[in-house]
Structure 1
């Protein structure tokens, strides 16, 4: 496995740790590839009954490593490319891949959980947050849209008006407010201990029943998932081709520039 991910299985529980602490677990091209590789390994390993997903260091994941990814246009395009519109691309699979696994996935959150980091967490079935967790759909700050598949979970978890506000404004939320809105499952002082207790409870359940229940909830509860994934990618590509996205980036970096008139949508 890539060193960006620490992956091990103990007594049926897969521990997956985002392991780029010196970069606040920011996602570069290799991080995306490594996460998807771990998801594939878990799907093939019948020993795995529960997954606990966490981040090393001060933060769960601060989002996209913008300098690394955007500095290499072929990699940026590789994240968005897909053979079929309704299928998940590489960027989306780091979120949707957890949803597709036939085992429960518990995300343990702390510190910055921004942008792509929040999208990854939204792919989990349960999100247990430390009290210091800072959450944001940060893409809006950079004039982008959330395009990593987390929208599937957002429309399940939150009222549409709250989800729209967070996606439009990139507003940052503390853990308690996020729990109030349904963005996280639970807030506690020791989220890893809580996750392990939950894993113990799930280990007492039939793995076949767990897989069947998850399949019912994840695959059949809402129509149009493929259309949503296709729309995410198409709209993000259109946003990236416009000048206002570059203006948003400049503004996020402290350079005052006026936006141009909205493009036709």
Structure 2
């Protein structure tokens, strides 16, 4: 097993599996882990052959949250996490969540064991969250006298009513997988989150990579904007897709003919 805090495996069909890899620390987040996640996402962003990303954790837990002792004991570590040039920019703590949304491919979080605090924030950066039956989830920051500040709140506000979001955030309540599903924190619950994530990934790579990128960008950037803006973006993205090679390939495949998709277009 590699000593890297994050491992990356890319299969021949373009499915990238990113694993948080500090099982001896329950995949708790220290500065080394934060930097490794950010750098891994940057490398994925440059690879237009990648079709889907699966995010998981090595060992019994997905991620138990911030390694409080490691981060809080060093003022320089806290500064590295929180520093930003402008208030509206993302800092390192926020990048490990927000950068997943910026990838032009679907990202699936396969959650097992504990997914607490910062771990849940990272999972909220994924497009889909599949929770294993044995998993537990918690917006746990208030337990440590903190508020969640890793960019997951922007996703939570789309998933649940404000009163429910405040209750879960203020109380640090621990949820079962089924409860998380009821609160819309996860997309599905399954006996094996990783198996289901791979199953979904295989289904997604049957579609044009340009369509997957276009849908993700259309929804993430325009979901709450005006109808007129949404209409304009729909039309523009459709024209862009029609001008690309993969739309013609998708038509051939739909007609039962052999064809392989090209690398996704630049978005």
TM-score in terms of structure 1 length: 0.82
Whether the 8 Å CA contact 1:59–1:111 is kept in 2: the answer is: yes
Q: Which moved more, 1:212-221 or 1:119-128?
A: 212-221
- Whether 1:4 and 2:5 are equivalent positions in the alignment is yes
Q: Deviations over 1:69-111 (max 9, x none)?
A: 1111011011011112111110001100101111000000011
Give the unaligned 5+ runs of structure 2. Answer: 226-267
**What is the CA distance between 1:64 and its match in structure 2?**
0.3
Work out the CA distance in 2 between the residues paired with 1:41 and 1:97.
11
Work out the CA distance in 1 between the residues paired with 2:100 and 2:162.
23
- Whether 1:35 and 2:37 are equivalent positions in the alignment is yes
Q: Deviations over 1:36-84 (max 9, x none)?
A: 0000000001111100000010100000001111111011011011112
Residue from 57, 60, 63 that aligns with 1:61: 63
Work out the CA distance in 2 between the residues paired with 1:86 and 1:221.
20
The secondary structure found in structure 1 opposite 2:4 is: coil
**What is the CA distance between 1:2 and its match in structure 2?**
7.2
- Whether 1:150 and 2:146 are equivalent positions in the alignment is no
Work out the CA distance in 2 between the residues paired with 1:213 and 1:6.
28
Counterpart for residue 102 of structure 2: 100
- Whether 1:220 and 2:234 are equivalent positions in the alignment is no
Question: What RMSD in Å do the two structures reach over aligned CA positions?
Answer: 1.2
Work out the CA distance in 2 between the residues paired with 1:167 and 1:8.
34
Equivalent pairs counted in the alignment come to 223
Counterpart for residue 141 of structure 1: 143
Residue from 16, 19, 22 that aligns with 1:17: 19
**What is the CA distance between 1:186 and its match in structure 2?**
0.5
Question: Using a 3 Å threshold, how does the CA distance of structure 1 residues 215 and 2 change in structure 2: closer, same or farther?
Answer: farther
The secondary structure found in structure 2 opposite 1:217 is: helix
The secondary structure found in structure 1 opposite 2:55 is: strand
- Whether 1:206 and 2:208 are equivalent positions in the alignment is yes
**What is the CA distance between 1:222 and its match in structure 2?**
3.5
- Whether 1:88 and 2:90 are equivalent positions in the alignment is yes
Work out the CA distance in 2 between the residues paired with 1:164 and 1:2.
38
TM-score in terms of structure 2 length: 0.82
Larger Rg: 2
Q: Determine which structure has greater relative contact order: mean sequence separation of CA pairs < 8 Å that are 6+ residues apart, divided by chain length.
A: 1
Work out the CA distance in 2 between the residues paired with 1:2 and 1:79.
22
Give the unaligned 5+ runs of structure 1. Answer: 224-265
Counterpart for residue 121 of structure 1: 123
Regions of 4+ moved over 6 Å: none
